[in-house]
Structure 1
Protein backbone atom coordinates (compact mmCIF):
# COMPACT_ATOMS: atom_id res chain seq x y z
CA UNK A 1 0.00 0.00 0.00
CA UNK A 2 1.33 3.41 -0.95
CA UNK A 3 1.83 5.89 1.85
CA UNK A 4 2.66 8.75 -0.51
CA UNK A 5 0.60 9.88 -3.46
CA UNK A 6 2.94 10.62 -6.34
CA UNK A 7 3.34 9.95 -10.05
CA UNK A 8 4.86 6.49 -9.47
CA UNK A 9 1.91 5.41 -7.30
CA UNK A 10 -0.56 6.74 -9.87
CA UNK A 11 1.32 4.96 -12.67
CA UNK A 12 1.00 1.68 -10.75
CA UNK A 13 -2.72 2.27 -10.32
CA UNK A 14 -3.24 3.08 -13.99
CA UNK A 15 -1.22 0.13 -15.26
CA UNK A 16 -2.76 -2.40 -12.88
CA UNK A 17 -6.27 -1.09 -13.47
CA UNK A 18 -6.03 -1.15 -17.26
CA UNK A 19 -4.52 -4.63 -17.17
CA UNK A 20 -7.81 -5.70 -15.59
CA UNK A 21 -9.81 -3.63 -18.10
CA UNK A 22 -8.16 -5.58 -20.93
CA UNK A 23 -9.25 -8.84 -19.28
CA UNK A 24 -12.82 -7.75 -18.51
CA UNK A 25 -15.48 -9.23 -20.79
CA UNK A 26 -17.70 -6.13 -20.52
CA UNK A 27 -15.07 -3.39 -20.85
CA UNK A 28 -12.41 -4.96 -23.06
CA UNK A 29 -14.43 -4.67 -26.30
CA UNK A 30 -15.18 -0.98 -25.66
CA UNK A 31 -11.57 -0.13 -24.95
CA UNK A 32 -10.23 -2.22 -27.82
CA UNK A 33 -12.64 -0.45 -30.16
CA UNK A 34 -11.51 2.97 -28.96
CA UNK A 35 -7.80 2.34 -28.38
CA UNK A 36 -6.91 -0.58 -30.60
CA UNK A 37 -3.24 -1.41 -30.19
CA UNK A 38 -2.32 2.06 -28.92
CA UNK A 39 -2.25 1.14 -25.23
CA UNK A 40 1.12 2.68 -24.33
CA UNK A 41 0.13 6.23 -25.30
CA UNK A 42 -3.26 5.78 -23.64
CA UNK A 43 -1.71 4.61 -20.38
CA UNK A 44 0.72 7.53 -20.31
CA UNK A 45 -2.18 9.90 -20.99
CA UNK A 46 -4.17 8.33 -18.13
CA UNK A 47 -1.22 8.76 -15.78
CA UNK A 48 -1.08 12.43 -16.80
CA UNK A 49 -4.85 12.71 -16.30
CA UNK A 50 -4.88 11.22 -12.80
CA UNK A 51 -1.80 13.24 -11.82
CA UNK A 52 -3.66 16.36 -12.90
CA UNK A 53 -6.75 15.33 -10.93
CA UNK A 54 -5.06 14.09 -7.77
CA UNK A 55 -1.85 16.13 -7.66
CA UNK A 56 -3.02 19.27 -9.50
CA UNK A 57 -0.03 18.75 -11.79
CA UNK A 58 -1.63 20.31 -14.86
CA UNK A 59 -0.01 17.66 -17.05
CA UNK A 60 -3.19 16.59 -18.80
CA UNK A 61 -4.56 18.66 -21.64
CA UNK A 62 -7.64 17.39 -23.37
CA UNK A 63 -11.39 17.16 -23.62
CA UNK A 64 -12.45 14.16 -21.55
CA UNK A 65 -16.16 14.72 -22.11
CA UNK A 66 -15.87 15.18 -25.88
CA UNK A 67 -13.65 12.12 -26.34
CA UNK A 68 -16.06 9.91 -24.44
CA UNK A 69 -19.17 11.27 -26.14
CA UNK A 70 -17.72 10.12 -29.47
CA UNK A 71 -17.88 6.48 -28.30
CA UNK A 72 -20.87 4.43 -29.41
CA UNK A 73 -22.71 1.69 -27.53
CA UNK A 74 -21.93 2.84 -24.00
CA UNK A 75 -24.34 1.47 -21.40
CA UNK A 76 -24.77 1.84 -17.65
CA UNK A 77 -23.17 -1.56 -17.14
CA UNK A 78 -19.91 -0.14 -18.53
CA UNK A 79 -19.94 2.49 -15.79
CA UNK A 80 -20.76 -0.09 -13.12
CA UNK A 81 -17.89 -2.34 -14.16
CA UNK A 82 -15.40 0.53 -14.57
CA UNK A 83 -16.19 1.97 -11.15
CA UNK A 84 -16.13 -1.43 -9.42
CA UNK A 85 -12.72 -2.30 -10.90
CA UNK A 86 -11.35 1.16 -10.16
CA UNK A 87 -12.56 1.05 -6.56
CA UNK A 88 -10.92 -2.33 -6.03
CA UNK A 89 -7.59 -1.01 -7.25
CA UNK A 90 -7.58 2.28 -5.33
CA UNK A 91 -8.64 0.54 -2.12
CA UNK A 92 -5.86 -2.04 -2.55
CA UNK A 93 -3.14 0.50 -3.35
CA UNK A 94 -3.92 3.54 -1.18
CA UNK A 95 -4.81 4.53 2.35
CA UNK A 96 -8.59 4.92 2.84
CA UNK A 97 -8.51 8.73 2.75
CA UNK A 98 -6.63 8.78 -0.56
CA UNK A 99 -8.80 6.01 -2.02
CA UNK A 100 -11.89 8.02 -1.07
CA UNK A 101 -10.52 11.07 -2.91
CA UNK A 102 -9.88 9.00 -6.04
CA UNK A 103 -13.40 7.59 -5.87
CA UNK A 104 -14.95 11.02 -5.35
CA UNK A 105 -13.24 12.24 -8.51
CA UNK A 106 -14.13 9.07 -10.46
CA UNK A 107 -17.78 9.33 -9.46
CA UNK A 108 -17.92 13.00 -10.46
CA UNK A 109 -16.52 12.11 -13.87
CA UNK A 110 -18.93 9.18 -14.21
CA UNK A 111 -21.86 11.42 -13.30
CA UNK A 112 -20.91 13.97 -15.94
CA UNK A 113 -20.46 11.31 -18.61
CA UNK A 114 -23.74 9.63 -17.71
CA UNK A 115 -25.59 12.91 -18.15
CA UNK A 116 -23.96 13.21 -21.54
CA UNK A 117 -24.92 9.70 -22.63
CA UNK A 118 -28.27 9.18 -20.94
CA UNK A 119 -29.49 12.59 -19.76
CA UNK A 120 -29.33 11.32 -16.17
CA UNK A 121 -26.90 9.81 -13.72
CA UNK A 122 -27.73 6.51 -12.07
CA UNK A 123 -24.43 5.61 -10.43
CA UNK A 124 -22.50 7.85 -8.10
Structure 2
Protein backbone atom coordinates (compact mmCIF):
# COMPACT_ATOMS: atom_id res chain seq x y z
CA UNK A 1 0.00 0.00 0.00
CA UNK A 2 1.38 3.39 -0.97
CA UNK A 3 1.69 6.10 1.63
CA UNK A 4 2.26 9.82 1.72
CA UNK A 5 5.53 11.34 2.87
CA UNK A 6 4.48 13.06 6.07
CA UNK A 7 6.93 12.07 8.81
CA UNK A 8 10.57 11.22 9.38
CA UNK A 9 9.69 7.52 9.23
CA UNK A 10 8.44 8.02 5.67
CA UNK A 11 11.65 9.79 4.72
CA UNK A 12 13.65 6.95 6.25
CA UNK A 13 11.69 4.41 4.22
CA UNK A 14 12.31 6.41 1.06
CA UNK A 15 16.04 6.74 1.72
CA UNK A 16 16.54 3.12 2.85
CA UNK A 17 14.60 1.67 -0.07
CA UNK A 18 16.32 3.93 -2.59
CA UNK A 19 19.84 3.20 -1.37
CA UNK A 20 19.14 -0.53 -1.32
CA UNK A 21 18.44 -0.18 -5.05
CA UNK A 22 21.54 1.99 -5.56
CA UNK A 23 23.82 -0.51 -3.82
CA UNK A 24 22.52 -3.32 -6.02
CA UNK A 25 22.76 -1.31 -9.24
CA UNK A 26 25.49 -2.24 -11.70
CA UNK A 27 26.24 1.36 -12.67
CA UNK A 28 25.85 3.23 -9.39
CA UNK A 29 26.60 0.55 -6.81
CA UNK A 30 30.36 0.35 -7.35
CA UNK A 31 30.77 4.14 -7.17
CA UNK A 32 28.81 4.44 -3.93
CA UNK A 33 30.50 1.41 -2.37
CA UNK A 34 33.95 2.75 -3.25
CA UNK A 35 33.25 6.12 -1.65
CA UNK A 36 31.08 5.16 1.31
CA UNK A 37 32.72 1.82 2.13
CA UNK A 38 31.71 0.89 5.69
CA UNK A 39 30.17 4.29 6.47
CA UNK A 40 26.65 3.51 5.22
CA UNK A 41 24.99 4.28 8.54
CA UNK A 42 26.56 7.74 8.58
CA UNK A 43 25.60 8.36 4.95
CA UNK A 44 22.01 7.22 5.44
CA UNK A 45 21.62 9.41 8.52
CA UNK A 46 22.87 12.39 6.53
CA UNK A 47 20.38 11.58 3.75
CA UNK A 48 17.55 11.31 6.30
CA UNK A 49 18.30 14.82 7.52
CA UNK A 50 18.72 16.17 3.98
CA UNK A 51 15.34 14.89 2.75
CA UNK A 52 13.67 15.69 6.09
CA UNK A 53 14.77 19.30 5.58
CA UNK A 54 13.82 19.38 1.90
CA UNK A 55 10.46 17.63 2.08
CA UNK A 56 9.21 18.20 5.61
CA UNK A 57 10.66 21.64 6.26
CA UNK A 58 12.31 20.40 9.46
CA UNK A 59 15.76 21.99 9.38
CA UNK A 60 17.93 19.09 10.50
CA UNK A 61 20.48 19.07 7.66
CA UNK A 62 23.62 21.14 7.55
CA UNK A 63 26.25 20.85 4.91
CA UNK A 64 27.00 21.42 1.27
CA UNK A 65 25.45 18.63 -0.80
CA UNK A 66 27.40 19.35 -3.99
CA UNK A 67 30.97 19.27 -2.71
CA UNK A 68 31.19 15.53 -1.87
CA UNK A 69 30.33 14.80 -5.51
CA UNK A 70 32.88 17.03 -7.19
CA UNK A 71 35.63 14.42 -7.63
CA UNK A 72 33.42 11.41 -8.31
CA UNK A 73 33.65 9.66 -11.68
CA UNK A 74 30.07 10.51 -12.59
CA UNK A 75 28.47 11.94 -15.69
CA UNK A 76 25.05 12.40 -17.24
CA UNK A 77 24.23 8.67 -17.44
CA UNK A 78 24.84 8.31 -13.70
CA UNK A 79 22.44 11.13 -12.90
CA UNK A 80 19.85 9.64 -15.25
CA UNK A 81 20.14 6.26 -13.53
CA UNK A 82 20.05 7.89 -10.09
CA UNK A 83 16.81 9.66 -11.03
CA UNK A 84 15.36 6.49 -12.54
CA UNK A 85 15.92 4.58 -9.29
CA UNK A 86 14.68 7.48 -7.17
CA UNK A 87 11.48 7.84 -9.19
CA UNK A 88 10.99 4.07 -9.15
CA UNK A 89 11.29 4.05 -5.36
CA UNK A 90 8.77 6.86 -5.04
CA UNK A 91 6.31 5.30 -7.51
CA UNK A 92 6.45 1.92 -5.77
CA UNK A 93 6.02 3.21 -2.23
CA UNK A 94 4.55 6.70 -2.11
CA UNK A 95 1.84 8.97 -3.43
CA UNK A 96 0.70 12.51 -2.92
CA UNK A 97 2.06 16.02 -2.96
CA UNK A 98 5.36 15.31 -1.19
CA UNK A 99 6.14 12.38 -3.49
CA UNK A 100 5.64 14.67 -6.47
CA UNK A 101 7.75 17.35 -4.80
CA UNK A 102 10.51 14.82 -4.14
CA UNK A 103 10.63 13.97 -7.85
CA UNK A 104 10.75 17.63 -8.83
CA UNK A 105 13.44 18.49 -6.30
CA UNK A 106 15.54 15.45 -7.23
CA UNK A 107 15.37 16.34 -10.91
CA UNK A 108 16.43 19.94 -10.21
CA UNK A 109 19.23 18.79 -7.94
CA UNK A 110 20.53 16.34 -10.55
CA UNK A 111 20.33 19.02 -13.22
CA UNK A 112 22.28 21.52 -11.08
CA UNK A 113 24.89 18.99 -9.98
CA UNK A 114 25.51 17.96 -13.58
CA UNK A 115 25.76 21.60 -14.64
CA UNK A 116 28.25 22.38 -11.88
CA UNK A 117 30.34 19.26 -12.54
CA UNK A 118 30.48 20.07 -16.23
CA UNK A 119 31.54 23.62 -15.44
CA UNK A 120 34.32 22.52 -13.09
CA UNK A 121 35.64 19.90 -15.48
CA UNK A 122 35.58 22.15 -18.53
CA UNK A 123 36.97 25.26 -16.86
CA UNK A 124 39.73 23.65 -14.86
CA UNK A 125 38.47 25.61 -11.87
CA UNK A 126 39.16 24.32 -8.39
CA UNK A 127 36.94 26.77 -6.51
CA UNK A 128 33.26 27.53 -6.37
CA UNK A 129 32.43 30.92 -7.79
Q: Could you tell me the TM-score, scaled by structure 2's length?
A: 0.86
Q: Secondary structure at the match of 2:66?
A: helix
Aligned to 1:12: 13
Q: Does 1:27 align with 2:28?
A: yes
Q: Secondary structure at the match of 2:24?
A: coil
Unaligned runs of 5+ in 2: 120-129
Distance in 1 separating the partners of 2:95 and 2:63: 29
Higher relative contact order (CA 8 A, sep 6+): 2
Aligned to 2:44: 43
RMSD: 1.2
Q: Does 1:76 align with 2:72?
A: no
Which of structures 1 and 2 has the bigger CA Rg? Answer: 2
Q: Does 1:90 align with 2:85?
A: no
* Alignment size in residue pairs: 118
Q: Does 1:114 align with 2:114?
A: yes
Aligned to 1:65: 66
- Structure 1 runs, 4 residues or longer, greater than 6 Å off: none
1:19-72 Cα offsets, whole Å, 9 max, x none, are: 11110000011101211111011111101100000011110101111111132x
Unaligned runs of 5+ in 1: 120-124
Q: Could you tell me the TM-score, scaled by structure 1's length?
A: 0.89
